[in-house]
Chains A and B, each alone.
Chain A
Amino acid sequence: MMATTRPPLALHIAPPTQRRPKPVEKIALVKLRKSFGLIEVLKGVSLKANEGDVVSILGSSGSGKSTLLRCVNFLETPDSGDVILCGEHVRMRQRSDGRSVPADPAQLTRVRTRAAMVFQSFNLWSHRTILENVIEAPVHVQGRPRKDCVEEAEALLDKVGLAAKRHDYPAVLSGGQQQRAAIARALATHPEVLLFDEPTSALDPELVGEVLKVMRGLAEEGRTMLVVTHEMGFARHVSTRTLFLHQGLVEEEGPSEEMFAHPRTDRFRQFIKRAQP
């Protein structure tokens, strides 16, 4: 990226990384707009992620980064723009009061099992054990045989280091353990895309590391991930690309290492500086 004049921000798309000759597009968000009341949170944001991409979404609070992520699995429905997930365009329709909603419930369910989400506040179901949390969606949403799901769930819990805790209820786990359990739950539906919404922001500092380690492992497996985060180290060294949002617009984006080494915009330079003590 040597160009002195930059192409229009919203449409700027980073060149594919070299390690994959034929990239498969997993997520495409095109010119998303979203308002809450009079406040326009997203003012036409576009984003693409190919298979194996780990995209960090950075920005100060109120920049719209969480809203952007929540538009991918339609926890928020964008007012306009397109969401294309694994090649499938998610249809929306206008309700009589002018709000747009997903048009097809079956499609929505499909989308949501393809794009699993990990939340800031874990959101484990408190009336079910860790294992039950993990098998809930595969058994009841996807209708897979319980026995298979249990086997798989135990393997997943082993992978995130929680095999011993599988019959405990969420309330007895630490925040870091709960978040790792939530990651196992997200993986249980065999998602093609993982969405992380500030997964370490609600954790005590000493618990952040264990969660980041699990996430780094997932990135190394070549999973497609969108990560809204404040962890600069993760954004810079683990994620392949970074998207910096400012007031509902993409201010800067590019390959992570390069972007952190040579920030092009003042705002992003300021943002990195403030984040580093």
Chain B
Amino acid sequence: MPSFDLFLGPNGWGKPLLSAALMTVALSLSGLAVGALFGAVLAHARIGGGLVLRSLADAVTTILRGVPDLLVIYLFYFGGSGLLSWAGHAAGYDGFIGLPVFLTGTLALGVVSAAYQAEVFRGAFNAIPRGQIEAARAAGMRNVLMFRRILVPQVLRHALPGLGNVWQLILKDSALISVIGLVELLRAAQIGAGSTRQPFLFYSAALVLYLVITSVSGQVFRWAETRSLRPFRRA
């Protein structure tokens, strides 16, 4: 079988595809982390902010949910590079300076997922019975302590299922980062397809790897969920 050597031979495509798959996971993880940060800020503004902050957060959410992710990626890549080139020009360097693609991809995925993560955090926050917050205040806890000891642990538990969904979304969105040249799984498949003229084979391989990543990580999330929800279930 010719495709056997193609992937598993000494100079086969197996290794580059696998490392590209790792890149996809790394990119998605950092996107998730950045998105969690942005999302927490957005959720905070939507829960506890004043009128101005709340409307601002609402506007950001509406925009992020209504505009294609691809456009956001372009904005970050070309916009960021534009700024960099402009700064470079001021420093005496002429020419186009590209933003590091991993960084751009991370930022773009983070921003794109922030709106969803904010919703997840907000829902999780609202799932905490108000009385538990009152009990914390009545016990003399100040904001920071209450946030750390009562809110965060519970929000994280309630948010896990929603975060699992967001994670799947980010994983699949990470394929879009291939358009700015980051060699993640899809890009690697593209390169392989181009140089061997066997696109169907290479895209199938990438497809299978995506399936493995999404289903294995989905399993991990489900496992974490059942573990973390243990205290909330009646025996």
C-alpha spacing A48/B78, complex, angstroms:
70
Bitwise interface map of B from 139 to 158 toward A, beta carbon under 8 Å scored 1, else 0: 11110010001100110010
Residues of B within 8 A of A105 (CB): 142
Contacts A140-B145, A171-B233, A172-B235: A123 and B132 contacting too (C-beta < 8 A)?
yes
For the complex, count residues of A whose C-beta is within 8 A of B: 34
Asked if B227 is at the interface of the complex by the 8 Å CB criterion, the answer is no
Interface assignment of B129: CB less than 8 Å from any CB of chain A: yes
Grouping DSSP codes into helix (H, G, I), strand (E, B) and loop, the B interface class, with mixed when no group exceeds half, is helix
Beta-carbon contact of B131 and A109 below 8 Å? no
The answer to whether A63 has its CB under 8 Å from any CB of chain B is no
Residues in A neighbouring B149, C-beta threshold 8 A? 136, 140
Which residues on B sit within 8 Å (CB–CB) of A75? Answer: 134, 137-138
| Residues of A with C-beta under 8 A to B140 | 108-113, 137, 141-142, 189
| B187-235 residues at the A interface, CB under 8 angstroms | 230-235
The reply to whether B232 and A125 form a contact with Cβ atoms under 8 Å apart is: no
Which A128-149 residues have a C-beta within 8 angstroms of B?
128-129, 136-137, 140-142
Q: Which of A6-14, A114-122, A255-263, A265-273 contacts B (4 or more CB under 8 A)?
A: A114-122
A119 touches B154 (CB 8 A): no
Interface contact B231-A141, CB-CB below 8 Å: no
Asked whether B101 is an interface residue with its Cβ less than 8 Å from the other chain, the reply is no
**Interface residues on chain B, number (Cβ under 8 Å):** 24
CA distance A53 to B132 in the complex (A): 28
Bound-state Cα–Cα, A124 to B139, Å: 11
Known interface pairs A121-B131, A140-B145; A127-B139 also in contact (CB < 8 Å) = no
A124, B141: Cβ atoms under 8 Å? no
Q: Are A73 and B138 in contact (CB under 8 A)?
A: yes
Beta-carbon contact of B129 and A171 below 8 Å: no
Q: How far is the CA of A168 from the CA of B134 in the complex (A)?
A: 22
Q: Most chain-B CB neighbours within 10 Å: which of A117, A123, A172?
A: A123
A142 to B142, CA, bound (A): 12
A195 smallest CB distance to B (angstroms)? 8
Q: How far is the CB of A208 from chain B (nearest CB, A)?
A: 19
B141 A125 Cβ-Cβ under 8 A:
no
Q: Let me know if B136 is at the binding interface, CB within 8 A.
A: yes
- Return chain B residues, CB-CB under 8 Å to A234: none
Contact check, B132 vs A117: say whether CB atoms are below 8 A apart: no
- Given known contacts A172-B234, A172-B235, A140 and B131 CB-to-CB distance under 8 angstroms: no
Can you report 7 residue pairs joining A to B where beta carbons are below 8 Å apart? A119-B138, A123-B135, A127-B153, A140-B141, A140-B149, A141-B140, A172-B234
The 7 closest A-B pairs by CB, nearest first: A123-B131, A112-B140, A169-B231, A123-B135, A137-B139, A117-B138, A113-B140
